[in-house]
Structure 1
Amino acid sequence: MSHRADEVRKRIAKRKREKGLSETHETSKPTSLFLSDEERYGVYSPPTYEGGPNKGNGGHPLFRTEVFIFKVLFSAVIVLVTAIVFKNSAPLFQDVKSAITYSLEEEFQFAAVSSWYRDQFGEPLALFEPNAKNNKDSEDATQSVQFAVPANGKVLETFEDNGQGIMVETDRPSVEAMNEGIIIEAGEKPDTGLTIVLQHADGTKSWYGNLDKIDVALYDFVEKGKALGKTKLSENQKGTYYFAIKKGDDFIDPIQVIQFE
Protein backbone atom coordinates (compact mmCIF):
# COMPACT_ATOMS: atom_id res chain seq x y z
CA MET A 1 0.00 0.00 0.00
CA SER A 2 2.82 2.38 0.91
CA HIS A 3 4.51 1.53 -2.36
CA ARG A 4 1.42 2.63 -4.32
CA ALA A 5 1.22 5.88 -2.32
CA ASP A 6 4.83 6.65 -3.17
CA GLU A 7 4.12 6.10 -6.86
CA VAL A 8 1.15 8.51 -6.75
CA ARG A 9 3.27 11.19 -5.06
CA LYS A 10 5.96 10.83 -7.73
CA ARG A 11 3.39 11.30 -10.49
CA ILE A 12 2.01 14.44 -8.82
CA ALA A 13 5.52 15.87 -8.43
CA LYS A 14 6.31 15.11 -12.08
CA ARG A 15 3.14 16.87 -13.23
CA LYS A 16 4.04 19.92 -11.15
CA ARG A 17 7.50 20.04 -12.68
CA GLU A 18 6.09 19.74 -16.21
CA LYS A 19 3.53 22.44 -15.47
CA GLY A 20 6.24 24.76 -14.12
CA LEU A 21 8.40 24.33 -17.23
CA SER A 22 5.39 24.98 -19.46
CA GLU A 23 4.58 28.24 -17.66
CA THR A 24 8.21 29.40 -17.90
CA HIS A 25 8.27 28.70 -21.66
CA GLU A 26 5.02 30.58 -22.25
CA THR A 27 6.27 33.58 -20.27
CA SER A 28 9.48 33.84 -22.31
CA LYS A 29 7.70 33.61 -25.66
CA PRO A 30 6.48 37.25 -25.93
CA THR A 31 9.98 38.54 -25.23
CA SER A 32 11.43 36.57 -28.12
CA LEU A 33 8.87 38.07 -30.50
CA PHE A 34 10.50 41.48 -30.16
CA LEU A 35 14.01 40.25 -30.90
CA SER A 36 15.45 40.89 -34.35
CA ASP A 37 17.41 38.34 -36.33
CA GLU A 38 20.62 40.12 -35.40
CA GLU A 39 19.79 39.87 -31.66
CA ARG A 40 18.72 36.26 -31.83
CA TYR A 41 21.42 34.93 -34.14
CA GLY A 42 24.07 37.65 -34.25
CA VAL A 43 23.87 37.77 -38.06
CA TYR A 44 23.15 40.90 -40.21
CA SER A 45 21.29 40.38 -43.46
CA PRO A 46 21.53 43.45 -45.75
CA PRO A 47 18.46 44.26 -47.87
CA THR A 48 18.46 43.09 -51.45
CA TYR A 49 16.36 44.01 -54.48
CA GLU A 50 17.12 40.98 -56.60
CA GLY A 51 13.53 39.88 -56.34
CA GLY A 52 12.13 43.37 -55.84
CA PRO A 53 11.76 45.26 -52.55
CA ASN A 54 8.34 43.70 -52.04
CA LYS A 55 9.04 40.24 -53.46
CA GLY A 56 8.14 40.45 -57.09
CA ASN A 57 7.70 44.19 -57.55
CA GLY A 58 9.86 44.09 -60.66
CA GLY A 59 13.40 45.05 -59.60
CA HIS A 60 15.05 48.15 -58.19
CA PRO A 61 12.61 50.71 -56.72
CA LEU A 62 14.02 53.45 -58.98
CA PHE A 63 13.47 51.40 -62.13
CA ARG A 64 9.95 50.67 -63.30
CA THR A 65 9.71 48.21 -66.13
CA GLU A 66 6.34 49.42 -67.39
CA VAL A 67 7.58 53.03 -67.62
CA PHE A 68 10.71 51.96 -69.49
CA ILE A 69 8.70 49.89 -71.97
CA PHE A 70 6.29 52.78 -72.50
CA LYS A 71 9.17 55.17 -73.27
CA VAL A 72 10.68 52.73 -75.75
CA LEU A 73 7.36 52.21 -77.52
CA PHE A 74 6.61 55.94 -77.54
CA SER A 75 10.02 56.70 -79.06
CA ALA A 76 9.47 54.04 -81.70
CA VAL A 77 6.09 55.56 -82.57
CA ILE A 78 7.65 59.02 -82.97
CA VAL A 79 10.34 57.66 -85.29
CA LEU A 80 7.75 55.73 -87.30
CA VAL A 81 5.43 58.74 -87.65
CA THR A 82 8.35 60.98 -88.69
CA ALA A 83 9.42 58.46 -91.32
CA ILE A 84 5.87 58.26 -92.69
CA VAL A 85 5.63 62.07 -92.87
CA PHE A 86 8.87 62.41 -94.83
CA LYS A 87 8.07 59.50 -97.15
CA ASN A 88 4.63 60.87 -97.96
CA SER A 89 4.50 63.70 -100.50
CA ALA A 90 0.92 64.72 -99.74
CA PRO A 91 0.39 68.48 -99.22
CA LEU A 92 -1.13 67.72 -95.83
CA PHE A 93 2.30 66.83 -94.43
CA GLN A 94 4.26 69.78 -95.83
CA ASP A 95 3.77 71.99 -92.77
CA VAL A 96 4.79 69.15 -90.48
CA LYS A 97 7.91 68.52 -92.57
CA SER A 98 8.86 72.20 -92.41
CA ALA A 99 8.41 72.33 -88.63
CA ILE A 100 10.52 69.20 -88.05
CA THR A 101 13.24 70.37 -90.43
CA TYR A 102 13.41 73.79 -88.79
CA SER A 103 13.66 72.36 -85.28
CA LEU A 104 16.50 70.03 -86.31
CA GLU A 105 18.51 72.47 -88.42
CA GLU A 106 18.13 75.79 -86.59
CA GLU A 107 20.44 76.41 -83.62
CA PHE A 108 18.92 76.88 -80.19
CA GLN A 109 18.87 80.56 -79.24
CA PHE A 110 21.30 80.33 -76.32
CA ALA A 111 22.14 84.03 -76.36
CA ALA A 112 18.48 85.10 -76.34
CA VAL A 113 17.72 82.81 -73.39
CA SER A 114 20.77 84.07 -71.49
CA SER A 115 19.81 87.70 -72.10
CA TRP A 116 16.21 87.08 -71.01
CA TYR A 117 17.41 85.33 -67.86
CA ARG A 118 19.60 88.27 -66.89
CA ASP A 119 16.78 90.73 -67.55
CA GLN A 120 14.37 88.73 -65.41
CA PHE A 121 16.57 87.60 -62.52
CA GLY A 122 19.57 89.91 -62.59
CA GLU A 123 22.16 87.13 -62.59
CA PRO A 124 23.63 85.12 -65.46
CA LEU A 125 23.02 81.44 -66.07
CA ALA A 126 25.89 79.40 -64.67
CA LEU A 127 25.93 77.35 -67.88
CA PHE A 128 26.66 80.44 -69.94
CA GLU A 129 28.64 82.72 -67.63
CA PRO A 130 30.44 80.83 -64.88
CA ASN A 131 32.94 83.64 -64.25
CA ALA A 132 30.83 86.71 -65.07
CA LYS A 133 30.84 89.39 -62.36
CA ASN A 134 29.26 92.38 -64.09
CA ASN A 135 26.17 93.83 -62.46
CA LYS A 136 23.02 94.84 -64.31
CA ASP A 137 23.83 98.56 -64.23
CA SER A 138 27.06 98.12 -66.19
CA GLU A 139 25.24 95.80 -68.61
CA ASP A 140 22.51 98.35 -69.29
CA ALA A 141 25.12 101.05 -69.85
CA THR A 142 26.87 99.06 -72.59
CA GLN A 143 23.71 98.13 -74.49
CA SER A 144 23.54 101.53 -76.18
CA VAL A 145 27.22 101.47 -77.29
CA GLN A 146 28.00 100.64 -80.93
CA PHE A 147 29.39 97.29 -81.98
CA ALA A 148 33.07 96.66 -81.34
CA VAL A 149 35.42 96.28 -84.30
CA PRO A 150 36.78 92.71 -84.39
CA ALA A 151 40.17 94.06 -85.50
CA ASN A 152 40.90 97.38 -87.19
CA GLY A 153 42.34 97.11 -90.66
CA LYS A 154 41.87 97.44 -94.39
CA VAL A 155 39.05 95.67 -96.22
CA LEU A 156 40.65 93.58 -98.96
CA GLU A 157 37.53 91.76 -100.14
CA THR A 158 34.13 93.44 -99.92
CA PHE A 159 30.72 91.94 -99.30
CA GLU A 160 29.86 92.42 -102.98
CA ASP A 161 32.91 90.40 -103.97
CA ASN A 162 32.48 87.64 -101.41
CA GLY A 163 28.70 87.37 -101.21
CA GLN A 164 28.64 86.52 -97.51
CA GLY A 165 31.33 88.41 -95.63
CA ILE A 166 34.51 90.43 -95.96
CA MET A 167 38.26 89.82 -95.72
CA VAL A 168 40.15 92.31 -93.57
CA GLU A 169 43.90 92.90 -93.41
CA THR A 170 45.07 93.86 -89.93
CA ASP A 171 48.17 94.20 -87.80
CA ARG A 172 46.26 93.26 -84.66
CA PRO A 173 47.26 89.92 -83.12
CA SER A 174 43.70 88.89 -82.25
CA VAL A 175 40.07 89.38 -83.24
CA GLU A 176 37.42 90.46 -80.73
CA ALA A 177 33.68 89.85 -80.34
CA MET A 178 31.58 92.59 -81.92
CA ASN A 179 28.95 92.08 -79.20
CA GLU A 180 28.25 89.76 -76.29
CA GLY A 181 26.89 86.33 -77.06
CA ILE A 182 27.32 82.55 -76.95
CA ILE A 183 29.88 80.53 -78.92
CA ILE A 184 27.84 78.05 -80.97
CA GLU A 185 30.59 76.91 -83.36
CA ALA A 186 34.36 76.73 -82.99
CA GLY A 187 36.36 74.73 -85.50
CA GLU A 188 37.33 74.18 -89.11
CA LYS A 189 35.03 75.17 -91.97
CA PRO A 190 35.66 74.32 -95.63
CA ASP A 191 35.60 77.91 -96.93
CA THR A 192 36.75 79.99 -93.95
CA GLY A 193 39.24 77.72 -92.18
CA LEU A 194 39.43 77.93 -88.40
CA THR A 195 36.20 79.76 -87.60
CA ILE A 196 34.21 80.96 -84.60
CA VAL A 197 30.45 81.59 -84.82
CA LEU A 198 29.01 83.81 -82.10
CA GLN A 199 25.25 83.91 -81.49
CA HIS A 200 23.83 87.19 -80.13
CA ALA A 201 20.70 87.93 -78.12
CA ASP A 202 18.89 89.54 -81.08
CA GLY A 203 19.23 86.34 -83.12
CA THR A 204 22.09 87.50 -85.33
CA LYS A 205 25.31 85.54 -85.70
CA SER A 206 28.80 86.90 -86.29
CA TRP A 207 31.47 84.81 -88.01
CA TYR A 208 35.21 85.14 -87.42
CA GLY A 209 37.25 83.04 -89.83
CA ASN A 210 40.71 82.37 -91.22
CA LEU A 211 42.10 82.32 -87.68
CA ASP A 212 45.37 80.83 -86.53
CA LYS A 213 44.19 79.88 -83.03
CA ILE A 214 40.95 79.81 -81.04
CA ASP A 215 40.95 81.14 -77.47
CA VAL A 216 37.37 80.25 -76.52
CA ALA A 217 35.38 77.05 -76.12
CA LEU A 218 32.01 75.91 -77.43
CA TYR A 219 29.05 77.44 -75.53
CA ASP A 220 31.24 79.98 -73.72
CA PHE A 221 29.58 83.30 -72.97
CA VAL A 222 31.75 86.16 -74.20
CA GLU A 223 31.39 89.87 -73.65
CA LYS A 224 31.71 92.53 -76.29
CA GLY A 225 35.34 93.21 -77.11
CA LYS A 226 36.65 89.91 -75.71
CA ALA A 227 39.47 88.31 -77.70
CA LEU A 228 38.19 85.23 -79.51
CA GLY A 229 41.24 84.01 -81.39
CA LYS A 230 44.58 84.84 -82.97
CA THR A 231 45.08 86.11 -86.51
CA LYS A 232 47.61 84.64 -88.94
CA LEU A 233 50.38 87.26 -88.99
CA SER A 234 52.96 87.14 -91.77
CA GLU A 235 56.58 88.36 -91.69
CA ASN A 236 55.44 91.96 -92.12
CA GLN A 237 53.30 91.55 -89.00
CA LYS A 238 50.07 91.69 -90.95
CA GLY A 239 47.39 89.09 -91.38
CA THR A 240 43.89 88.67 -92.77
CA TYR A 241 40.71 87.41 -91.18
CA TYR A 242 37.22 86.69 -92.43
CA PHE A 243 34.22 88.43 -90.87
CA ALA A 244 30.50 88.03 -91.59
CA ILE A 245 27.16 88.84 -90.00
CA LYS A 246 24.13 86.62 -90.54
CA LYS A 247 20.58 87.59 -89.64
CA GLY A 248 18.06 84.81 -90.09
CA ASP A 249 18.89 83.01 -93.32
CA ASP A 250 20.64 85.97 -94.98
CA PHE A 251 24.09 87.51 -94.62
CA ILE A 252 24.34 91.30 -94.36
CA ASP A 253 27.19 93.64 -95.24
CA PRO A 254 29.31 94.15 -92.08
CA ILE A 255 30.45 97.57 -93.30
CA GLN A 256 26.87 98.81 -92.87
CA VAL A 257 27.13 98.43 -89.09
CA ILE A 258 30.89 98.55 -88.34
CA GLN A 259 33.64 100.87 -89.54
CA PHE A 260 36.89 98.94 -90.04
CA GLU A 261 39.20 101.77 -91.16
Structure 2
Amino acid sequence: MRKKVNEEHVYVLADETEELDPEVVWKTNPNPWASWSDDKGFMDNKNFVKPPDLTNKKDPNFGKNKHSFRKELKWKLVIAIMLFGAVWAMFHYDTSYTLKGQALVKEALSDEIDFAAAAAWYKDTFAGAPSFIPIFKDNSESAIGADGTVKLPIVAPLEGGSLVRTFAELLNGIELAGGSEEQVVAAETGRVLLLTDKDDNKGTTILIQHANQRVTVYGLLGKAEVSVNDWVEAGDPIGRLLKAEGSQPSLLYFAVKQNDQYIDPVGVIPID
Protein backbone atom coordinates (compact mmCIF):
# COMPACT_ATOMS: atom_id res chain seq x y z
CA MET A 1 0.00 0.00 0.00
CA ARG A 2 1.30 3.52 -0.86
CA LYS A 3 0.22 6.16 1.62
CA LYS A 4 0.48 9.83 0.63
CA VAL A 5 1.69 11.94 3.57
CA ASN A 6 2.55 15.14 1.75
CA GLU A 7 1.43 15.68 -1.82
CA GLU A 8 4.40 17.85 -2.81
CA HIS A 9 7.32 16.23 -1.05
CA VAL A 10 7.30 12.68 0.28
CA TYR A 11 5.65 9.31 0.00
CA VAL A 12 5.95 6.73 2.75
CA LEU A 13 6.03 3.11 1.64
CA ALA A 14 4.40 0.55 3.87
CA ASP A 15 3.57 -3.07 3.48
CA GLU A 16 0.11 -4.21 4.53
CA THR A 17 1.46 -7.17 6.43
CA GLU A 18 4.88 -6.07 7.74
CA GLU A 19 6.30 -2.73 8.85
CA LEU A 20 9.86 -1.94 7.75
CA ASP A 21 12.46 -1.44 10.43
CA PRO A 22 13.47 2.28 10.42
CA GLU A 23 17.04 1.40 11.39
CA VAL A 24 17.37 -1.01 8.43
CA VAL A 25 15.92 1.60 6.06
CA TRP A 26 18.35 4.22 7.37
CA LYS A 27 21.42 1.98 7.04
CA THR A 28 20.52 0.78 3.54
CA ASN A 29 19.96 4.32 2.25
CA PRO A 30 23.18 5.28 0.40
CA ASN A 31 22.87 8.96 1.26
CA PRO A 32 20.35 9.51 4.04
CA TRP A 33 21.37 13.07 4.92
CA ALA A 34 21.16 14.37 1.37
CA SER A 35 17.36 14.45 1.40
CA TRP A 36 17.00 16.56 4.57
CA SER A 37 16.46 20.25 4.04
CA ASP A 38 17.71 22.48 6.88
CA ASP A 39 15.54 25.44 5.96
CA LYS A 40 12.34 23.53 5.20
CA GLY A 41 12.59 20.74 7.73
CA PHE A 42 11.20 18.05 5.45
CA MET A 43 12.32 15.50 2.88
CA ASP A 44 13.06 16.97 -0.55
CA ASN A 45 11.26 14.97 -3.21
CA LYS A 46 14.09 15.09 -5.72
CA ASN A 47 16.64 13.71 -3.21
CA PHE A 48 14.37 11.06 -1.78
CA VAL A 49 15.93 7.60 -2.08
CA LYS A 50 13.54 4.72 -2.11
CA PRO A 51 14.51 2.14 0.52
CA PRO A 52 15.05 -1.40 -0.65
CA ASP A 53 12.20 -3.87 -0.45
CA LEU A 54 13.02 -6.09 2.53
CA THR A 55 9.67 -7.77 2.85
CA ASN A 56 10.81 -10.90 1.08
CA LYS A 57 14.30 -10.99 2.55
CA LYS A 58 15.15 -13.74 5.00
CA ASP A 59 17.89 -13.95 7.56
CA PRO A 60 20.54 -16.29 6.07
CA ASN A 61 21.35 -17.56 9.55
CA PHE A 62 17.71 -18.33 10.38
CA GLY A 63 17.44 -21.99 11.38
CA LYS A 64 21.17 -22.55 10.86
CA ASN A 65 21.96 -23.22 14.52
CA LYS A 66 19.02 -25.59 14.85
CA HIS A 67 20.04 -27.63 11.82
CA SER A 68 23.72 -27.70 12.81
CA PHE A 69 22.80 -28.94 16.29
CA ARG A 70 20.69 -31.75 14.84
CA LYS A 71 23.46 -32.66 12.43
CA GLU A 72 26.05 -32.70 15.21
CA LEU A 73 23.79 -34.79 17.45
CA LYS A 74 23.20 -37.25 14.63
CA TRP A 75 26.93 -37.73 14.03
CA LYS A 76 27.63 -38.14 17.75
CA LEU A 77 24.92 -40.78 17.97
CA VAL A 78 26.37 -42.63 14.99
CA ILE A 79 29.87 -42.55 16.49
CA ALA A 80 28.57 -43.77 19.88
CA ILE A 81 26.74 -46.68 18.22
CA MET A 82 29.87 -47.61 16.27
CA LEU A 83 32.03 -47.54 19.41
CA PHE A 84 29.51 -49.62 21.32
CA GLY A 85 29.35 -52.13 18.47
CA ALA A 86 33.13 -52.34 18.31
CA VAL A 87 33.45 -53.03 22.05
CA TRP A 88 30.61 -55.56 21.92
CA ALA A 89 32.24 -57.41 19.04
CA MET A 90 35.62 -57.26 20.78
CA PHE A 91 34.28 -59.21 23.78
CA HIS A 92 32.43 -61.77 21.63
CA TYR A 93 35.31 -62.86 19.41
CA ASP A 94 38.61 -64.17 20.73
CA THR A 95 41.42 -63.26 18.38
CA SER A 96 44.89 -61.89 18.92
CA TYR A 97 43.67 -58.36 18.27
CA THR A 98 40.47 -58.55 20.30
CA LEU A 99 42.25 -60.09 23.29
CA LYS A 100 44.61 -57.11 23.40
CA GLY A 101 41.66 -54.75 23.17
CA GLN A 102 39.83 -56.59 25.93
CA ALA A 103 42.87 -56.26 28.18
CA LEU A 104 43.08 -52.52 27.54
CA VAL A 105 39.37 -51.99 28.28
CA LYS A 106 39.52 -54.06 31.48
CA GLU A 107 42.62 -52.21 32.62
CA ALA A 108 40.98 -48.81 32.02
CA LEU A 109 37.88 -49.82 33.99
CA SER A 110 39.59 -51.53 36.91
CA ASP A 111 42.90 -49.75 37.58
CA GLU A 112 42.94 -46.76 39.94
CA ILE A 113 44.04 -43.38 38.68
CA ASP A 114 47.55 -42.45 39.75
CA PHE A 115 46.81 -39.05 41.28
CA ALA A 116 50.39 -38.64 42.50
CA ALA A 117 51.70 -38.98 38.93
CA ALA A 118 49.05 -36.56 37.69
CA ALA A 119 50.04 -34.04 40.36
CA ALA A 120 53.73 -34.41 39.44
CA TRP A 121 52.92 -33.87 35.75
CA TYR A 122 50.89 -30.77 36.56
CA LYS A 123 53.74 -29.39 38.65
CA ASP A 124 56.33 -30.02 35.92
CA THR A 125 54.09 -28.65 33.16
CA PHE A 126 52.82 -25.50 34.84
CA ALA A 127 55.82 -24.65 37.03
CA GLY A 128 56.98 -21.04 37.13
CA ALA A 129 53.61 -19.30 37.60
CA PRO A 130 53.95 -15.56 38.41
CA SER A 131 54.59 -15.52 42.16
CA PHE A 132 53.93 -11.78 42.49
CA ILE A 133 50.21 -12.56 42.10
CA PRO A 134 48.91 -13.77 45.50
CA ILE A 135 46.97 -16.68 44.04
CA PHE A 136 50.15 -18.03 42.42
CA LYS A 137 52.37 -18.10 45.51
CA ASP A 138 55.17 -20.61 45.17
CA ASN A 139 54.06 -23.04 47.86
CA SER A 140 55.10 -26.47 46.75
CA GLU A 141 52.86 -28.94 48.53
CA SER A 142 52.50 -32.60 47.74
CA ALA A 143 49.16 -33.97 46.61
CA ILE A 144 46.95 -35.29 49.39
CA GLY A 145 44.41 -38.03 48.68
CA ALA A 146 40.84 -37.64 49.86
CA ASP A 147 39.17 -40.57 51.60
CA GLY A 148 35.64 -39.28 50.98
CA THR A 149 34.67 -39.03 54.67
CA VAL A 150 33.27 -36.00 56.46
CA LYS A 151 35.15 -35.00 59.60
CA LEU A 152 32.67 -33.78 62.22
CA PRO A 153 33.81 -31.92 65.35
CA ILE A 154 34.07 -33.78 68.68
CA VAL A 155 34.11 -31.96 72.00
CA ALA A 156 34.26 -32.89 75.67
CA PRO A 157 30.80 -33.30 77.24
CA LEU A 158 31.90 -31.51 80.44
CA GLU A 159 34.35 -28.68 79.91
CA GLY A 160 37.18 -28.86 82.43
CA GLY A 161 35.73 -32.01 84.00
CA SER A 162 38.10 -34.21 86.02
CA LEU A 163 38.26 -37.95 85.43
CA VAL A 164 37.41 -39.68 88.71
CA ARG A 165 36.51 -43.20 87.55
CA THR A 166 38.10 -44.80 84.48
CA PHE A 167 36.77 -47.23 81.91
CA ALA A 168 38.88 -49.99 83.49
CA GLU A 169 36.88 -49.56 86.70
CA LEU A 170 33.38 -49.27 85.29
CA LEU A 171 33.89 -51.39 82.13
CA ASN A 172 31.13 -49.50 80.33
CA GLY A 173 31.98 -45.82 80.71
CA ILE A 174 33.69 -43.18 82.82
CA GLU A 175 32.74 -40.62 85.46
CA LEU A 176 33.69 -36.96 85.29
CA ALA A 177 33.52 -34.48 88.16
CA GLY A 178 32.25 -30.95 87.64
CA GLY A 179 30.64 -28.05 89.42
CA SER A 180 27.17 -28.10 90.91
CA GLU A 181 24.52 -27.89 88.14
CA GLU A 182 27.23 -27.37 85.55
CA GLN A 183 26.17 -27.48 81.92
CA VAL A 184 26.65 -30.65 79.83
CA VAL A 185 26.96 -30.50 76.04
CA ALA A 186 26.66 -33.00 73.19
CA ALA A 187 29.99 -34.56 72.32
CA GLU A 188 29.08 -34.99 68.64
CA THR A 189 26.41 -34.02 66.16
CA GLY A 190 23.43 -36.36 66.26
CA ARG A 191 19.81 -37.05 67.20
CA VAL A 192 18.44 -37.54 70.72
CA LEU A 193 17.48 -41.20 70.83
CA LEU A 194 16.29 -41.68 74.43
CA LEU A 195 15.51 -39.56 77.47
CA THR A 196 14.77 -41.30 80.77
CA ASP A 197 12.77 -39.86 83.65
CA LYS A 198 14.68 -38.31 86.52
CA ASP A 199 15.61 -40.69 89.35
CA ASP A 200 16.60 -39.50 92.81
CA ASN A 201 19.79 -41.56 92.77
CA LYS A 202 20.66 -41.85 89.06
CA GLY A 203 19.20 -38.60 87.74
CA THR A 204 18.27 -38.31 84.07
CA THR A 205 19.99 -40.22 81.26
CA ILE A 206 20.23 -39.02 77.63
CA LEU A 207 21.23 -41.17 74.63
CA ILE A 208 22.31 -39.50 71.39
CA GLN A 209 22.69 -41.37 68.08
CA HIS A 210 25.59 -40.24 65.89
CA ALA A 211 27.00 -41.23 62.52
CA ASN A 212 29.09 -44.38 61.97
CA GLN A 213 26.97 -46.49 64.36
CA ARG A 214 28.09 -44.49 67.42
CA VAL A 215 25.97 -43.69 70.48
CA THR A 216 26.90 -41.49 73.44
CA VAL A 217 25.31 -41.81 76.89
CA TYR A 218 25.03 -38.98 79.44
CA GLY A 219 23.93 -40.05 82.93
CA LEU A 220 23.45 -38.55 86.41
CA LEU A 221 21.94 -35.37 84.96
CA GLY A 222 19.79 -33.19 87.17
CA LYS A 223 18.02 -31.46 84.30
CA ALA A 224 17.50 -32.24 80.60
CA GLU A 225 17.31 -29.40 78.08
CA VAL A 226 16.44 -31.50 75.01
CA SER A 227 13.64 -33.82 73.93
CA VAL A 228 13.53 -37.10 72.04
CA ASN A 229 14.22 -36.71 68.28
CA ASP A 230 15.87 -33.31 68.77
CA TRP A 231 18.83 -32.70 66.46
CA VAL A 232 21.89 -31.35 68.27
CA GLU A 233 25.26 -30.17 67.05
CA ALA A 234 28.55 -30.86 68.78
CA GLY A 235 28.80 -28.46 71.74
CA ASP A 236 25.05 -27.78 72.04
CA PRO A 237 23.73 -27.80 75.65
CA ILE A 238 21.69 -30.90 76.46
CA GLY A 239 21.34 -30.67 80.27
CA ARG A 240 22.87 -29.88 83.65
CA LEU A 241 24.44 -31.87 86.46
CA LEU A 242 22.71 -32.60 89.73
CA LYS A 243 22.88 -30.01 92.46
CA ALA A 244 25.77 -30.86 94.77
CA GLU A 245 25.59 -30.83 98.51
CA GLY A 246 28.11 -28.65 100.25
CA SER A 247 31.54 -28.66 98.64
CA GLN A 248 31.11 -32.03 96.96
CA PRO A 249 31.42 -32.05 93.14
CA SER A 250 28.66 -33.22 90.83
CA LEU A 251 29.35 -36.30 88.71
CA LEU A 252 28.61 -37.08 85.05
CA TYR A 253 28.42 -40.63 83.80
CA PHE A 254 29.58 -40.71 80.19
CA ALA A 255 29.75 -43.72 77.88
CA VAL A 256 30.42 -44.38 74.19
CA LYS A 257 29.04 -47.35 72.26
CA GLN A 258 30.48 -48.24 68.86
CA ASN A 259 28.57 -50.92 66.92
CA ASP A 260 26.72 -51.88 70.15
CA GLN A 261 30.03 -52.35 72.00
CA TYR A 262 31.18 -50.12 74.86
CA ILE A 263 34.56 -48.51 74.20
CA ASP A 264 36.79 -46.26 76.29
CA PRO A 265 35.57 -42.67 75.75
CA VAL A 266 39.05 -41.32 76.45
CA GLY A 267 40.21 -42.87 73.18
CA VAL A 268 37.68 -40.99 71.01
CA ILE A 269 36.61 -37.91 73.01
CA PRO A 270 39.02 -35.08 73.94
CA ILE A 271 38.81 -35.36 77.72
CA ASP A 272 41.43 -33.57 79.84
TM over 0.5: no
- For the aligned pair, the TM-score class normalised by the smaller chain equals 0.3 to 0.5
TM-score normalized by structure 1? 0.42
Q: Which has the higher helix share?
A: 1
TM-score normalized by structure 2? 0.41
